[in-house]
Chains A and B, each alone.
Chain A
Amino acid sequence: MTTTSVSQEPETGGATTTTGRKAAPWGYFFYCELMKILRNPPAVLFGIGFPTMFFLIFGNTFPLAATSTLAGLAAYGAFVVSFQTFSMSLANERALGWNKLLRSTPMTPALYLGTKFLVIIITGILSLLLLFVVADLNGKVHLSLTIWAELLGMMVVGMIPLSLTGIFLGFIGSANLTNVLATLLGLLFSFGSGLFVPLSIMPSAVQNVAPYLPTYQLGQLAWIIVGSSYQDSHPLWVHLLVLVGYAVVFAVLSVWAYIRDENKNFA
């Protein structure tokens, strides 16, 4: 909590024992959010396990391209957690009425969203670390510790704009709509950006559309860092700039979707 009110509430003369505890609820809320993700098998499987599983399949099938595959899957991991896991979690809790109950508590919507965002980032980091460790042990990817760290850092930065797309999708409609769109777009964007199989073997129509996808920019950042041949002719800062543009657009769209939901359910 931002306000640490220590004012003692005048209590009714009840016989209940009070703890007298003044601990801020935020830390415990964070713990609960983390537990929700870690105890949710689909979230763990898709969000945390899939990139590693795909690496073991594709990385071993095409050993010469293992490093490029790893970088693409790192981008996929960062994307799927911030887009798919985040939007589904938000939409499902809206359907459940959990955010409604929280509105009767001192938890503010901003703190609720902020905590969820932080947990999403942590989930993304767990997913990436698992992928990196397995890729390193697998023996076909050889990167210095600096490059591993740069890749991790860049993917975490990339999760910020992609989380904004997740928030937008999480507030735009019903849980059913969000779950379908998140899964469908998650796959389309990943394939369409060459995160699973190289863009060069895709039809030219896909190659032409790809640069407009946020996932393409994230993939490019990853491939540039590992020095992959999958990178296009643009320098790193151009891809970052496009992602900043995405962040701005989806921040505005998220606020719009949030206010729309607010006016529908809480006005």
Chain B
Amino acid sequence: MVTGAAIPAVELDHVTKNYGSVQALKSISLTIEPGEVVAVLGPNGAGKSTTIALMLGMRRPSSGSVMLFGENPRLANHRKRIGVMLQESGVPETLKVRELVELFGRFHDSPMVTQEAIKIAGLEEKANTRLSRLSGGQKQRVYFALALVGNPDVLFLDEPTTGLDVEARRNFWDQINIQVARSKTILLTTHNLEEADALAKRIIVINQGEIIIDGTSDEIKGHVGGKHVRFHAANLSIEDLQAIAEVQSVRLVNKKFEIYTKQPEAILTTLFKDGADLSDLEVEGAGLEEAFLALTGNGHHYAAEEQAV
């Protein structure tokens, strides 16, 4: 970037987005500088796709401001500088891979040679094949080629590896890392912590329309390395367990308590010291979604709902 070293690639300032009565985003603020590689990480329905749609000018914020290259993202001339992979977007099935890639190259001022984008996406053998004859994974690679072919300044990749098998996912990561090495600005969304870690230096965790953490992958991993502790205990209540300092959240599942914590040993020590009568005890690594619940404090709220049922 020569012209706009001081201008952020993307800037969201106190952005909210409502769909009818549903609040998809609650006051999101973030800045992405040129050359940054950022993963927006969150469970399904967290607001990741909405965030990208706002950045691309496909949706209008309900309040707050969204800037792409320092201007309104709804201006069409900015789109020569971006490459995009979207969820829930399709391409005409009667067109051939080469034709689509060629078309998207022509949308930009200095595109790659069409054949090169096809090669990067690993579609050389399918170049003259119609889209209707490709598998889901192959189509996903076509979308990647469409995003890359324009040599864009910024790549927006919304859940780029959804539907790919493990090997295809690894290949995809290698390709992304080549783009990272070329100092492209990249913003990708994922619900996979491993993927965010493999690709991005900066990870923004969002859940229920809010940014929970914005930091390096090490910082994030420190937050999500929690465990589930489950047991039966007739003489204990949810309130008793919440009173223990190391407990991040508690809920009742099938009459068993389920605690989310990063220090299961400390909790069990406390419980045994208090003479708690535990049975069917199990300790298990918790998934990312549970970590989000704990991080947002929604675990307690969730527990209350489950009890009411």
Contacts and interface: CB of A to CB of B under 8 A. Distances in A.
In the complex, which range does the number of interface residues on chain A fall in? 35 or more
Given A97-B88, A98-B89, 7 more contacts: A5-B109, A9-B81, A17-B113, A18-B113, A35-B94, A100-B89, A101-B90
Contacts of B94: 35-36, 39-40
Q: For chain B, what secondary structure do more than half of its interface residues adopt (helix, strand, loop), or is it mixed?
A: loop
Contacts, number: 122
A8 B109 contact: yes
A103 B92 contact: no
Interface stretch (B54-62, B218-226, B281-289): B54-62
B115 to A, nearest CB: 10
Contacts of A32: 92, 95, 99-100, 103
A135 to B, nearest CB: 30
A14 interface: yes
Interface in B1-51: 1-3
A21 B56 contact: no
Q: How large is the interface on B (under 10, 10 to 19, 20 to 34, 35 or more residues)?
A: 35 or more
B104 A9 contact: no
A41 to B, nearest CB: 10
Interface of A: 3, 5, 7-25, 28-29, 32, 35-36, 39-40, 93, 96-98, 100-101, 103-108, 266-267
Nearest to B183: A12
A104 to B, nearest CB: 4
A28 B79 contact: no
B107 A105 contact: yes
Contact of A100 (B58, B102, B103, B130): B58
7 contacts: A3-B77, A13-B182, A17-B113, A17-B116, A19-B113, A22-B109, A36-B94
4 closest cross-chain pairs (CB), A and B: A96-B90, A104-B84, A97-B89, A25-B106
A196 to B, nearest CB: 30
Interface in B190-236: none
B271 interface: no
Nearest to B62: A267
